[in-house]
């Protein structure tokens, strides 16, 4: 996949062995020719690494790190990749149109209590987009708050969500579903804290191809 760069971003807050195991899984599914640009808060040997130092953990800095990675990349398309998420090969093969932000909706949470849960949600972590369009959208968002977003102040969502509310250029949002799910670890140390499981969520103890929830969680976290 020579036309796509994976934009990996991390605050390096999780235990090093967890981060390394998740990165190893990403390498397995990325495709032989797919480049990786990693923007992290501690230096690591992963793709082309750009260390921004200890700038803190927040949504604003996630956008900053993604933008830095996108500006360094040189491919037509980019895909976001977070440090606590398991992806699949099909996810990185999807290509939206030149004016679209695409989000993979087959995204399951994985809880340490031994279950996966599904809730439809558009998330930056599952975004595949034209590089030029992503740079444009994130630059516009960060220009609203040149330093940081003050606590308690509503902040822009992912490109394509509530753009008009913040006076941003309205972007086209499309959704896609891979056959295998993307899996997000649900843990207390993630930005925003551990997500509550809702009554409306679909729960499963086993999903293909990841297998048993307990075993999958332990394989990466213990």
- In angstroms and rounded to an integer, the radius of gyration of the C-alpha atoms of the chain is 17
Distance between CA atoms of residues 72 and 50, nearest Å? 9
Q: What is the pLDDT of residue 174?
A: 98
Q: What is the pLDDT of residue 56?
A: 87
Instruction: Name the token pair of 45.
Output: 């040997």
Q: Tell me which architecture the domain covering 4-106+121-181 has in CATH.
A: Alpha-Beta Complex (3.90)
What sign does the dihedral 30-33-39-42 (CA atoms) show?
Answer: positive
Distance between CA atoms of residues 222 and 63, nearest Å? 30
Distance, CA of 21 to chain centre:
16
Peptide bond into 8 cis (omega under 30): no
Distance between CA atoms of residues 45 and 187, nearest Å? 25
How big is the CA angle at 145 (ends 143 and 147), to the nearest 5 degrees?
Answer: 105
Distance between CA atoms of residues 25 and 102, nearest Å? 22
Phi-psi region of 196 (alpha: psi -120 to 50; beta: other; left: phi over 0): beta
What tens-digit pLDDT sequence spans the chain (222 residues)? 789 999 999 999 999 999 999 999 999 999 888 999 999 999 999 999 999 999 988 888 999 999 999 999 999 999 999 999 999 999 999 999 999 999 999 999 999 999 999 999 999 999 999 999 999 999 999 998 777 776 677 788 999 999 999 999 999 999 999 999 999 998 766 666 567 888 899 999 999 999 999 999 999 998
What sign does the dihedral 185-186-192-197 (CA atoms) show?
Answer: positive
Instruction: Name the token pair of 95.
Output: 């290509």
Domain borders along the chain are 4-106+121-181
Q: What is the pLDDT of residue 196?
A: 81
What sign does the dihedral 99-105-106-108 (CA atoms) show?
Answer: positive
Check if the beta carbon of residue 43 is closer than 8 Å to that of residue 49: yes
Number of neighbouring beta carbons within 10 Å of residue 117:
18
Distance between CA atoms of residues 60 and 176, nearest Å? 26
Helix (H) or strand (E) holding 128, with range, is strand 127-130
Instruction: Name the token pair of 11.
Output: 């605050």
């Amino acid at each position: 996949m020579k036309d796509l760069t994976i934009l990996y971003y991390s605050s390096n807050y999780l235990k090093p062995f967890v981060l390394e195991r998740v990165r190893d899984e990403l390498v397995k599914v990325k495709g032989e020719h797919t480049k990786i640009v990693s923007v992290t808060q501690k230096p690591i040997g992963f793709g082309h690494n750009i260390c921004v130092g200890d700038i803190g953990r927040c949504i604003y800095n996630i956008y900053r790190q993604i933008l830095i990675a996108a500006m360094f990349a040189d491919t037509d398309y980019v895909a976001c990749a977070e440090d606590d998420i398991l992806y699949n090969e099909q996810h990185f093969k999807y290509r939206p149109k030149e004016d679209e932000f695409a989000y993979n909706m087959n995204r399951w949470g994985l809880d340490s209590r031994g279950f996966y849960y599904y809730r439809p949600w558009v998330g930056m972590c599952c975004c595949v987009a034209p590089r030029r369009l992503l740079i444009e959208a994130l630059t516009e968002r960060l220009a609203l708050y040149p330093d940081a977003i003050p606590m308690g102040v509503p902040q822009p969502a992912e490109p394509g969500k509530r753009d008009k509310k913040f006076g941003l250029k309205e972007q086209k949002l499309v959704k896609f579903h891979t056959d295998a799910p993307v899996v997000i670890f649900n843990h207390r140390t993630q930005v925003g804290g551990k997500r509550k499981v809702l009554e409306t969520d679909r729960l499963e103890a086993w999903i293909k191809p990841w297998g048993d929830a307990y075993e999958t969680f332990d394989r990466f976290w213990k």
